[in-house]
Amino acid sequence: MTLTRLAGPLSGALFAIALLGPAAAQETPAAPAPAAAAPATATPPAAKAMAVVKVGFIRTYERTLALSVLDIPPPDIGIAGANVAIADNNTTGSFMGQSFALDVATLKPGEDVMPAVEAMSAAGVHYIVTDLSAADTLKVADAMKGTGALVFNAGSTDDSLREESCRANLLHTAPSRSMLTDGLAQYLMWKQWRNWVLITGSHEGDKLFAEAMKTSAKKFGGTILEERIFEDKGGARATDSGQALVQRQIPVFMQGLPDHDVVLVADESEVFGSYIPWRTWVPRPVAGTAGLVPASWHPASEQWGGAQIQNRFEKASGRRMQAKDMQVWTAIRILGEAASRTQSVDPAVIDAFIKGKDFTVAAFKGQRLTFRDWNWQLRQPVILGNETSVVSASPQEGFLHQASELDTLGTDRPETRCAF
């Protein structure tokens, strides 16, 4: 487990806590009092004791190989989004005597998550944001259940966390797989590309994405004509002869498919997906985990005020904002929004407001976002993009819903298997 100690009011805690608040606010005169009273001067927030909201972020990270070096996650993935969110919260919070502090724990894959959870709980952290596997996310939620703390899943897309394995104290700012595949399927149907073939990897995540894609096809009327499995046989992913081999092998693998409009790729494990575009036997667009990819955010997103957050993020981190950064940013901004609107740092007040009917949060996606009260999934548009640009955003025009068009993405209330 990696710890990073940064300056802040919690710097003596076991875990690293970064307080990124602005400098002390300058004195500003208050509005004049009624005539019978002498003019009063407001006490500047800096002179008051700042009420601190402690936020934990637990993530798993290890630099791993990808088919393209451009797809290797940066070392500060997620953390950069958290830091910008803390700074944003403190910009507003400083005027109300509120301060937000961040406690970060970075684990290696397979490392026990419980020491980090226990240390954060002992330090008084009431809110934990996670970028972990589905199993570890559940461990965190179950461990914090007795404390009344809220856990925000900003990493795992597993539908099981929103359904049969849902928890009342577990909220999700990461979209589910079914939301992602529904968003993609809507666009393909809007384009009238109705006939698909599916190439699925041999790992568990690949199979789960493929199953979600099949469900989306049934939901919106797409047809999967054939599915082929690409077996991961190991070996080096980057060799001197690699490109020549791929150029010969992939087209042969794609031979003999029925006539189709789109090739769908389910390769969350990064074994073959990036090899499919431009190497198919017949010229067809590619979508899924390669080609046209559904996500919560895109580094090129600048619509709906997105240029503002991109500029702040790039100034702070030196790179563009990725989907996982946005998911973590959104989780922490939810806390800032709730604290600001309730003018309270009382966890009971904040928690009740977040789970209440009046809560919304802006996240540069064209509309304010809300939580589904049947599984605590954040409603949000799905961004569809390629390597360099945003292509579209779902829900698509014409896909209607009696309550919210965002509920056409993912599991709707009548379908849920969640029982808190």
Residue 172, judged by CB atoms within 10 A of its CB (0-12, 13-18, 19+), counts as: buried
What confidence category does residue 238 fall into, taking pLDDT thresholds of 50, 70 and 90? low
**104 in helix, strand or coil?**
strand
Architecture of the domain spanning 178-294: 3-Layer(aba) Sandwich (3.40)
288, 264 Cβ separation under 8 angstroms:
yes
Question: Which residues are bridge partners to 327 per DSSP?
Answer: none
Tokens coding 115: 């020491």
What's the pTM?
0.88
404, 413 Cβ separation under 8 angstroms:
no
Greater confidence (4 vs 416) lies with: 416
What confidence category does residue 48 fall into, taking pLDDT thresholds of 50, 70 and 90? low
Q: What is the pLDDT of residue 234?
A: 77
Greater confidence (366 vs 238) lies with: 366
137, 393 Cβ separation under 8 angstroms:
no
Q: Which fold has domain 2-27+43-175+299-380?
A: Rossmann fold (3.40.50)
Give the pLDDT confidence of 258-269 residue by residue, as tens digits.
Answer: 999 999 999 999
Question: Which residues are bridge partners to 170 per DSSP?
Answer: 151
Measured CA to CA, the distance from residue 153 to residue 175 in angstroms comes to 9
User: Which runs of E-coded beta strand occur in 65-131?
Assistant: 98-107, 127-131
Question: Which residues are bridge partners to 104 per DSSP?
Answer: 16, 57
The predicted model gives 30-55 an average pLDDT of: 58
Q: What is the pLDDT of residue 163?
A: 98
Q: What is the pLDDT of residue 75?
A: 98
pLDDT, mean over the chain: 90
Domain ranges of the chain: 2-27+43-175+299-380, 178-294
CB atoms within 10 A of CB 416: 17
Greater confidence (44 vs 71) lies with: 71
pLDDT of 8 higher than 80: no
**Which of 81-85, 103-107, 230-234 has the least mean pLDDT?**
230-234
**Which of 171-180, 194-203, 228-237, 382-391 has the least mean pLDDT?**
228-237
The predicted model gives 294-321 an average pLDDT of: 98
pLDDT of 9 higher than 50: no
Q: What is the pLDDT of residue 49?
A: 79
Q: What is the pLDDT of residue 44?
A: 47
| Amino acid making up residue 3 | L
Q: What is the pLDDT of residue 18?
A: 39
How far is residue 125 CA from its own chain's centroid? Answer: 21
Please count the CA atoms within 13 angstroms of the CA of 123 that sit on its side-chain side.
27
DSSP secondary structure string for all residues of 214-227: HHHHHHHT-EEEEE
Distances (CA, A) of 137 to 57, 102, 132: 12, 19, 6
What confidence category does residue 240 fall into, taking pLDDT thresholds of 50, 70 and 90? low
Q: What is the pLDDT of residue 277?
A: 97
